[in-house]
């Protein structure tokens, strides 16, 4: 081959590689650098009010080969909390967090904003579990306080009482009594409201009783929490790459992770992918990825709040299956979520809103409080919750792959549990023997869930049957 032809070939090759890279980055990052990216857009009030779409996502990790001591997969509350704890305990380690979309894009930016101190799912598992999960949740709350006080981050956090609304149903009444027993044992102040008092309290006849308690739970803006926590994590020296999806993990030492853009080798991997974990081939038949929707109304006037009796701004949850949860924002918007959840066939997880569930939520809100008819619904979104059939989470090491750690299945209590899980993960990485690494959740085997089509048909039928 002539020498000039060789150099011409090299030149064309180099130019097309650089050109392709430039094009690739341009398509991933809109030139205006607005955070809006249609594929990653979620109409969540929390993300919207946290300025999520006014900022730009971090660029992806584009490297043919990359190495790190610790790779965290998933940038929700679990991944960010684990990253923060690890960076503070092991500043000498190279820590990388990979997020398929943007930090907070998953359940962490789409939830109901209730940072809870009592796990209602644990009540039926006895006092050990009830106290254990409460301690983890209190740790999560302590972290929220620490981050907001020490680093002056504002998550609109406000301690609020809790109101559990109980329908006319014997088993729900019995559940409320068991919950009251736990509150008594835990020394948490509570009150039982009969039908008349409940009706007066919420200005609605839909519920037969209620349990009011003040257990230290906090109402907050989870969008602001993920945005603030991401800043803290980056300031601690962790490299966060967004728009970087891990497509395959091969265990070993080092562990090999394939992403859309290249390969990464890591000494330790932390799976913080919650309801998406089955897509990587882990925990496939151990949890239900359940679609759950939320709506936000426009701001209510003081008079409208008085008309529905919601002047103290308690957080509210209903106790029936297909539970609904309510929260009032500082600008007096009502956030309502829950109701008809759906398990998608074959673990497929659509990103868009579940329109039917959203319509039913609107109908429910205005049947509970017809006084509010005409109040606009400004935001509506759907997220995926990771549900263990017994309602309890698990944090630990993958059996047979001790350098892969995981935390998942917080059901509807993940805001505080995921933050505590981050602390446990750092303790497990350190190999420490502590109160946290000895927690009941550590290496807990999640109950078996039958595969599809049995799983989705069974779950959705039961939901439909029970309304």
Ligand X SMILES: Cc1cc2nc3c(=O)[nH]c(=O)nc-3n(C[C@H](O)[C@H](O)[C@H](O)COP(=O)(O)OP(=O)(O)OC[C@H]3O[C@@H](n4cnc5c(N)ncnc54)[C@H](O)[C@@H]3O)c2cc1C
Phi and psi at residue 305, to the nearest 5°:
-65, -40
Q: How far is the CB of 6 from ligand X (least distance, A)?
A: 41
Closest to ligand X by CB, 110 vs 379, is 110
The binder of ligand X chosen from 47, 272, 316, 387 (CB under 6 A):
272
**Cβ contact 217:159 at 8 Å:** yes
The binder of ligand X chosen from 99, 156, 215, 354 (CB under 6 A):
99
Q: How far is the CB of 421 from ligand X (least distance, A)?
A: 7
The binder of ligand X chosen from 105, 207, 241, 310 (CB under 6 A):
105
The binder of ligand X chosen from 106, 216, 339, 391 (CB under 6 A):
106
Per CB under 6 A, does 261 bind ligand X?
no
Q: What residues contact 55, with CB distance under 8 A and at least 6 apart?
A: 35, 227
The piece of 193-201, 360-368, 412-420, 441-449 that touches ligand X (CB under 6 A) is 412-420
Per CB under 6 A, does 110 bind ligand X?
yes
- How far apart are the C-alpha atoms of 404 and 332, rounded to whole Å? 43
User: Considering only residues 368-387, where is the footprint of ligand X by CB under 6 A?
Assistant: 383-385
DSSP-assigned letters across all residues of 289-305: EEEEEEEEEPPPPHHHH
**Short-list 325, 328, 337, CA closest to 293:** 337
The strand pairing partners of 210, in sequence order, are: 165, 193
Closest to ligand X by CB, 131 vs 282, is 282
| CB-count exposure of residue 297 (10 Å: 0-12, 13-18, 19+) | buried
Closest to ligand X by CB, 245 vs 444, is 245
Per CB under 6 A, does 422 bind ligand X?
no
The binder of ligand X chosen from 60, 74, 228, 391 (CB under 6 A):
74
The binder of ligand X chosen from 113, 216, 223, 353 (CB under 6 A):
113
Per CB under 6 A, does 111 bind ligand X?
yes
Per CB under 6 A, does 340 bind ligand X?
no
- How far apart are the C-alpha atoms of 184 and 275, rounded to whole Å? 34
End-to-end CA distance of the chain: 75
- How far apart are the C-alpha atoms of 224 and 329, rounded to whole Å? 13
Q: In which residue are the tokens 């739970």 written? A: 217
Q: State the residues that interact with ligand X by CB under 6 A.
A: 73-79, 98-101, 105-108, 110-114, 116, 245-246, 272-276, 280, 292, 294, 325, 337, 383-385, 410, 412-416, 418
């Amino acid at each position: 081959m002539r020498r000039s032809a060789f150099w011409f070939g090299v030149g064309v090759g180099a130019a097309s590689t650089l050109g392709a890279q430039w094009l690739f980055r341009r398509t991933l990052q809109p030139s205006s650098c607005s955070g809006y990216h249609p594929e990653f857009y979620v109409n969540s009030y929390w993300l919207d009010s946290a300025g999520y779409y006014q900022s730009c996502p971090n660029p992806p990790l584009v490297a043919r080969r990359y190495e790190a001591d610790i790779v965290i997969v998933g940038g929700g509350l679990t991944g960010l909390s684990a990253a923060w704890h690890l960076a503070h305990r092991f500043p000498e380690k190279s820590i990388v967090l990979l997020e398929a979309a943007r930090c907070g894009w998953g359940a962490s930016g789409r939830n109901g904003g209730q940072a809870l101190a009592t796990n209602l799912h644990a009540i039926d598992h006895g006092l050990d579990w009830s106290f254990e999960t409460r301690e983890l949740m209190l740790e999560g709350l302590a972290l929220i306080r620490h981050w907001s006080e020490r680093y002056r981050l504002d998550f609109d956090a406000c301690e609020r009482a809790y109101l559990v609304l109980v329908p006319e149903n014997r088993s729900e009444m019995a559940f409320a009594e068991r919950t009251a027993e736990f509150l008594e044992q835990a020394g948490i102040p509570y009150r039982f409201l009969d039908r008349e008092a409940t009706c007066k309290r919420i200005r609605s006849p839909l519920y037969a009783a209620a349990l009011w308690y003040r257990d230290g739970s906090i109402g907050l803006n989870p969008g602001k929490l993920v945005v603030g926590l991401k800043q803290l994590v980056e300031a601690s020296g962790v490299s966060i790459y967004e728009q970087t999806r891990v497509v395959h993990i091969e265990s070993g030492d080092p562990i090999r992770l394939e992403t859309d853009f290249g390969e990464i080798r890591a000494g330790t991997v932390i799976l913080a992918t919650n309801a998406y974990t089955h897509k990587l081939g882990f925990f496939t038949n151990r949890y239900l990825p359940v679609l759950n929707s939320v709506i936000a109304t426009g701001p209510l006037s003081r008079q409208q709040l008085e008309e529905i009796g919601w002047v103290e701004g308690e957080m509210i949850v209903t106790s029936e299956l297909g539970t609904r949860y309510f929260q009032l924002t500082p600008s007096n918007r009502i956030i309502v979520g829950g109701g008809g959840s759906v398990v998608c066939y074959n673990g497929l997880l659509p990103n868009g809103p579940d329109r039917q569930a959203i319509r039913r939520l609107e109908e429910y809100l205005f049947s509970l409080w017809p006084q509010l008819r005409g109040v606009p619904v400004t935001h509506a979104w759907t997220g995926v919750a990771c549900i263990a059939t017994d309602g309890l989470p698990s944090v630990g090491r993958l059996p047979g792959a001790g350098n892969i750690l995981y935390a998942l299945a917080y059901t509807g209590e993940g805001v505080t549990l995921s933050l505590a899980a981050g602390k446990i993960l750092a303790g497990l990485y350190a190999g420490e023997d502590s109160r946290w690494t000895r927690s009941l959740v550590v290496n807990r085997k999640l109950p078996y869930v039958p595969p599809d089509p049995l799983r989705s048909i069974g779950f959705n039928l039961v939901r439909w049957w029970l309304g």
